[in-house]
Amino acid sequence: MARQYQLNKGPRKGGSGIDYEAELNEQQYAAVSSPPGPALVIAGAGSGKTRTLTYRVAYLLDQGVDPRSLLLLTFTNKAAREMMERVRELVPMDLSELWSGTFHAIGNRILRRHAEEVGLTRSFSIMDRDDQKSLLNTVVAECEIDTKQRRFPKADVLISIFSLVENTGVALEKLLQERYPYFEEWAEDLAKVGSAYTAKKLETNSVDFDDLLILPLRLFQQNEEVGALYQKRFHYLLVDEYQDTNAVQSELIHLLAGPENSVMVVGDDAQSIYSWRGADMENILSFPKRYPNAKVFKIETNYRSVPEVLSLSNAAISANQKQFEKNLRAVRTGGVMTPALVPLEDPRSQAEFVAQRMLELRDEGIELKEMAVLYRAHHQSLEVQMELTSRGIPFEITSGLRFFEQAHIKDVAAFLRFVTNRRDEVSFKRLCLMLPGVGAATANKLWQSWLKLGISREEAPPPSFSKLMLGFSVPAKARKDWEQLCYTLDELVVDGGYVPPSEMITSILEGVYDEFMKASFDNYENRRQDIEQLIIYAEPFDDIFELLGQLSLMSSVDGDPSGRQADPDEEKVCLSSIHQAKGLEWKVVFLIWMTDGMFPNGRVLETDDLDMFEEERRLFYVALTRAKDELYLTYPQINPKSYSGDIITRPSRFLDDCPESLLETWEVGSAW
């Protein structure tokens, strides 16, 4: 029988000297000072979640806990750095042996130590997305899949599909049925590629980012001795943003904690908005069931927003059935205004209101950098981008590129530019590079074939592009797509001129580009919505050259046709999707397009899936709680539609859950 021997801790070199009860509110202190064991901390928006976590680390260290026995897991490198910087400020001791980082960073550390046990060596390579795409292209070629008759998903899409399968545990067939129905016919080939990709990674001693989670989990599941080593080391696990964990991350935490260790997870179920990338809110909801003796702490004191904003936020989220009930309370006193509900005539009027109100607020002393425009989908910012540009209001976009700088918008513009300017080599080659099996060399040969026709400098477009171009030499796998591209170009011209711009874009989308997007982009539906919005934007234009001129002005540097680089110190309004805005805050928030079909999203309204609808409402809640002082909810009462004419919109059904007393309706008139 083994003899038990206990190592005594050496003398501590001073404590932090923190008066925890004085520096924390009652709810924060209860969580920070809780005894060892499983604990769930529900930290509402603006309630000091990071403060609670960092003080918990400091508290444990002050209680004599060895830094080596702590593991702090976060979702971003920035969050990990900020937390450790705060802990070092609080606790004057060496923390070099405290493990802190993202799930992927910690997974990498574990894998480096045990690589051989999962078929790798310690020198394994971590592939970035470009590396993954290259390896997958090799695998697809080696699998000898016939892609001549149908478009096979491109590497970017394959990465997303395989990643979701790994991180959610959903079978490939079911995932295709639910998220990629247009690829169901490829199910067998996709399974073949997935297996070959896994084998190729081992063969090349490489891993992707998903492997940094999946392989450590598999290691712990298959080797109890290795798992026991880490359970013995990490007596205290602290996990940030637990509502965003997926199935793999949740199980990894569970195995690291084991039956004896203390695990504290911090999050807010009301801000769980990432199911589309694999996050499972059930992890946080079921935590008390998985850990029956878990203590649940709620932190409901909000330091960010005025009471008027919080009252609206509480009312908005209260309709959700699946949640930990909470009621945010404001530390701040009453604000200057009740949140505004602003119906406008149409999308252009909505943009004009946002821009005019911003200028008024700036004159009142609020800096532009303290204002944000939030929206459900990127294309909803189009009119606002146009209006801010025309008024010279600088802005930055956290939800991606400016509308007209996005790849799919530039692809569509390439069709328009080449048809109207047959000497546009750049646009012609961009079209060619969309074809399967066509690279730069082939695109150049096709361009030379076009020039040899001798019509590139003619003023009027040819009656038929297909009669001129179908005979060009293209790779066999590109032949079908090349024919479709040529016929699509034919649809853009009529009687020596051009069809209306909106009809041109419709022909491009339906004729050839929709299928290209499905195979090329993992967020196909969002990109299609962008192009449909471009069709609507193009409707007032009768002249294709006027539209192209506008596109060029809007896609130049910072919207400045002179190409002037913006001053990096220049304050800018922020335009952001709500997903990208999570964790941020501004004094003034404009939440636009508050209509059914826009927010909540049309796809959500078409389903009877309660989980999807409640996540959409949580997204609304996240948007509301970004505002510190002033909040404006706007919507156009008329929405131009390219196919069915103008329609009268229905205000977002989320507003039905908000008592009239919590909103002040603004009636906006015109000076004309």
Residues marked active site are found at 49-50, 240-241, 271, 626
| Three-state DSSP state, 10 | coil
Kindly give the residue spans of alpha helices, DSSP state H, lying in 607-651.
Answer: 610-624
- The interaxial angle of helices 501-508 and 544-555, nearest 10 deg, is 70
558 residue type, one letter:
D
- Which helix or strand (DSSP H or E) is residue 264 part of? strand 262-267
Which structure tokens are listed for 508? 């491009």
Phi/psi of residue 293, each to 5°?
A: -95, 15
Taking each helix axis from N to C terminus, what angle separates 479-490 and 407-420, rounded to the nearest 10 degrees?
A: 60
* Rounded Cα distance, 383 and 386, in Å: 5
Maximum C-alpha span of the chain:
97
Asked whether 388 and 566 are in contact (CB, 8 A), the reply is: no
343 phi, psi to nearest 5 deg: -75, 135
Look up tokens 């190592």; give the residue: 7
**Side chain identity, residue 30:** A
648: part of which helix (H) or strand (E)? strand 647-648
Give the E-state strand segments of 124-221 in sequence order.
125-126, 206-207
476 by Cβ neighbours in 10 Å (0-12 / 13-18 / 19+) ranks as exposed
Query: How many of the other CB atoms lie within 10 Å of CB of 321?
Result: 7
The two tokens of residue 447 are 């361009």
The single residue listed with the structure tokens 């923190």 is 18
Tokens standing for residue 590:
């404009």
